[in-house]
């Protein structure tokens, strides 16, 4: 009798890797940063530091696919983000400076709007909204209109979206703004839980926040020598045309 061939087990799928190489950002005619490289794997975090105007917000918007790099490559699992913008939007959650809270909608209705927008396949939207409300202690304010909220409460509504409509990549632009110490502790725990489950985080701040093991980027380190940056862009453009 012929011995059966040994079964071949498939190789486990590699964890997704978010990566940027040689990134340059230009706003207007100003080179905001250049020569920026990064990698972000499941469970990892990037902490972005620097003064106003150093490029923290621009970098986060670039990571979200809201603006394109003037030079360099941004990839997810080796595939260019620019070629799969819808997929990238579905796997990322960007929370910017502005509080995207509609004043005439209640707290619960605001979060529900974002669940339906970000995660339209969610089966139980009410349950998802409740998870977000409870995580950031907003459940007692669920029926309060957005126009009645304080700045800190509006920020907590925004952050509750992360829990109500989860995704692998969180991009948070100064998320501690207007938060009290207790709410910052809740945010820290939320981020830690997200990372423990394999999530990724890039976060900018001017305040102290506990982000164990995060790689720190001082955005001033990537400030451009303007003439040199434009020369490099010209060379990259000429190479692309060759």
**CA neighbor of 46 nearest in space, from 58, 59, 33:** 59
Q: Let me know: does 137 contact 184? Beta carbons within 8 Å.
A: no
Place of tokens 């970000």: 118
Q: How many CB atoms lie within 10 A of CB 64?
A: 20
* CATH class of residue range 39-68+84-228: alpha beta
Is the overall model pTM greater than 0.75, yes or no? yes
Helix (H) or strand (E) segment spanning residue 49: strand 45-49
> Rg of the Cα trace of the chain?
21
pLDDT in tens, the chain (242 residues): 444 444 334 343 456 799 999 999 998 888 999 999 999 999 999 999 999 989 999 999 999 999 999 999 999 999 999 999 999 999 999 999 888 899 999 999 999 999 999 999 999 999 999 999 999 999 999 999 999 999 999 999 999 999 999 999 999 999 999 999 999 999 999 999 999 999 999 999 998 999 999 999 999 999 877 555 555 555 555 555 55
């Amino acid at each position: 009798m012929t011995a059966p061939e040994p079964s071949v087990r498939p190789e486990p799928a590699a964890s997704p890797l978010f990566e940027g190489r040689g990134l340059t950002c230009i706003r207007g005619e100003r080179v905001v940063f250049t020569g920026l490289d990064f990698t972000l794997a499941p469970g990892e975090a990037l902490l972005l530091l620097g003064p106003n105007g150093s490029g923290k917000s621009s970098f986060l918007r670039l990571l979200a696919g809201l603006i394109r790099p003037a030079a360099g490559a941004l990839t997810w699992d080796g595939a260019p983000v620019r070629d799969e913008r819808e997929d990238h939007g579905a796997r990322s959650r960007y929370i910017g400076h502005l509080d995207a809270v509609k004043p005439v909608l209640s707290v619960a209705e605001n979060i529900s709007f974002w669940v339906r927008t970000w995660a339209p396949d969610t089966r139980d939207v009410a349950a998802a909204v409740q998870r977000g409300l409870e995580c950031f202690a907003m459940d007692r304010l669920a029926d309060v209109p957005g126009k009645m909220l304080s700045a800190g409460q509006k920020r907590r509504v925004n952050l509750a979206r992360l829990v109500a409509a989860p995704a692998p990549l969180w991009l948070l632009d100064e998320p501690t703004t207007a938060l009290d110490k207790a709410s910052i502790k809740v945010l820290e725990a939320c981020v830690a839980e997200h990372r423990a489950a394999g999530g990724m985080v890039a976060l900018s701040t001017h305040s102290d926040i506990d982000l164990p093991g995060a790689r720190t980027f001082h955005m001033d380190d990537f400030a451009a020598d303007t003439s040199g940056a434009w020369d490099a862009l010209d060379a990259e453009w000429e190479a692309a045309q060759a």
